[in-house]
Amino acid sequence: MRFASLFLSLGLLSLSGETLAGCVNTCRNPPQRKEWRELRKHERLEYLEAVRCLASKPDVTGGLENATNLYQSFQATHSQQTPDIHWVGHFALWHRYFTATYEKYLREQCGYRGAQPYWNWALDASATDNSSMAVYNAELFDARYGFGGNGYFVESTAEENPFNLTGRTGGGCVKDGPFREGQFFLNVKQPKGQSDCLRRDFIPWILNYFARQSLVNHVESQDDYTSFARALENIPSFTQPNIHGSGHFGVGGVLGTLGNSALSPGDPLFYLHHCNLDRVLWQWQRKDLPKRLHQVGGPVTPMDYGGKNVTLDFEINIGKLAPNATLEELLNPQGNVLCYGYHGL
Ligand SMILES: *[C@@H]1O[C@H](CO)[C@@H](O)[C@H](O)[C@H]1NC(C)=O
Ligand SMILES: *[C@@H]1O[C@H](CO)[C@@H](O)[C@H](O)[C@H]1NC(C)=O
Ligand SMILES: *[C@@H]1O[C@H](CO)[C@@H](O)[C@H](O)[C@H]1NC(C)=O
Ligand SMILES: *[C@@H]1O[C@H](CO)[C@@H](O)[C@H](O)[C@H]1NC(C)=O
Ligand SMILES: *[C@@H]1O[C@H](CO)[C@@H](O)[C@H](O)[C@H]1NC(C)=O
Ligand SMILES: [Cu+2]
């Protein structure tokens, strides 16, 4: 009897993560993230339905940037912090926490039973043909079992296109799929007094050129966290490719939602793109886990490469969406803050 009650109380203790936080790992049966194409059709529909469900739940930010629903709470949180979370040492882990929190809300608020899917664009990118449209993976952009396709074509002004990007093919509202115009709304008004619809502006050469496997391999071959982080984002320019820019500008282009750094989480594909970048980070970490579960670096202030660097106790803040977490906590996808895995890894 005494032993039985001892075991029972130990069992209860281990269930209360707070008491033992830091001592015992509370991550059990982590949801396994899969590539979009690995999902069965009904699983794809369940995911898309859960995203639409988020947009039907109340905002949790108190109307930050005029957010009116829970989907927009995420967009507004990213929008507000945009100037502080890119070209910094905490870029990849900020977005890891953000994406995992989105996944958690899909599961807890909208009854989604799967894990956050990702889009491995390197599977589709052509190394020899910048104009290939095969990179717009047909299953991902499908109107019924995917996220819908391009926006209609809209001319852009010189002012709207400061990098003079060529090869634009869209720019208007998305015309089909579950997030088409009239079905799905962003939290801010779009330029020119047009509706606050989701926009896409495919630029094939950017997606083919930035999403190549050879570039992924380059990022994953870096020796330490600081150089990994820098290779991941590269420079804010289109003269050198970077895998982070692939999904953003290959899909969002100049006028599209995903190409606008503040608004980008307004496109549900943001989370599949960033989930893939997170998989790249995790693959890189797994090459030397003892070291790479406990190593960070890179500037606190954007592009301030000689200045103060982030450390393991640096705190990530995603506003009202979740409590602060340290970079050390976020380095572990299967720890006491995060709990997910990648199928097949
Ligand atoms: C929020 O909405 C108000 C009223 O429509 C508007 O004046 C303000 O600019 C909006 N704020 C943001 C950040 O979009
Ligand atoms: C794709 O476009 C980039 C940028 O213009 C260029 O540097 C690269 O050579 C092109 N690749 C191919 C295979 O045409
Ligand atoms: C884009 O073109 C304008 C006008 O020709 C030029 O002033 C500007 O420097 C160009 N921008 C880039 C990033 O090349
Ligand atoms: C931050 O890290 C970079 C790259 O390792 C290094 O060059 C720089 O000196 C560091 N900054 C400080 C203040 O130590
Ligand atoms: C959360 O982290 C931010 C820095 O990213 C810090 O300014 C803030 O004070 C922290 N909040 C709490 C409640 O610790
Ligand atoms: Cu971002």
CB 164 less than 6 A from any atom of ligand 3: yes
**Which of the listed ranges 65-69, 179-183, 223-227 does the model predict with the highest average pLDDT?**
223-227
Q: Is the pLDDT of residue 7 over 60?
A: no
Sign, Cα dihedral of 35, 40, 45, 46 = negative
Beta carbons within 10 angstroms of residue 302's beta carbon? 15
Strand partners, 151: 174
What domains appear along the chain, each with residue ranges and CATH number? Answer: 2-342 (1.10.1280.10)
Which 8-state DSSP code applies to residue 63? S
In the predicted model, what is the mean pLDDT of residues 36-63? Answer: 97
pLDDT digits (tens, 9 = 90+) for 297-333: 999 999 999 999 999 999 999 999 999 999 999 999 9
Q: What is the mean pLDDT of the chain?
A: 92
Is 24 buried (19+), middle (13-18) or exposed (0-12) by CB count in 10 A?
A: exposed
Amino acid at 46: E
Q: Is the pLDDT of residue 293 over 90?
A: yes
CB 227 less than 6 A from any atom of ligand 4: no
pLDDT of amino acid 188: 64
Global pTM reads: 0.92
pLDDT of amino acid 132: 96
Taking the centre of ligand 5 as the mean of its atom positions, its distance from the CA of residue 57, in whole angstroms, is 26
Residue of minimum CA distance from atom 13 in ligand 1: 65
The rounded distance, in Å, linking the Cα atoms of 208 and 195 is 30
Q: Is the pLDDT of residue 338 over 50?
A: yes
Beta carbons of 338 and 99 less than 8 angstroms apart: no
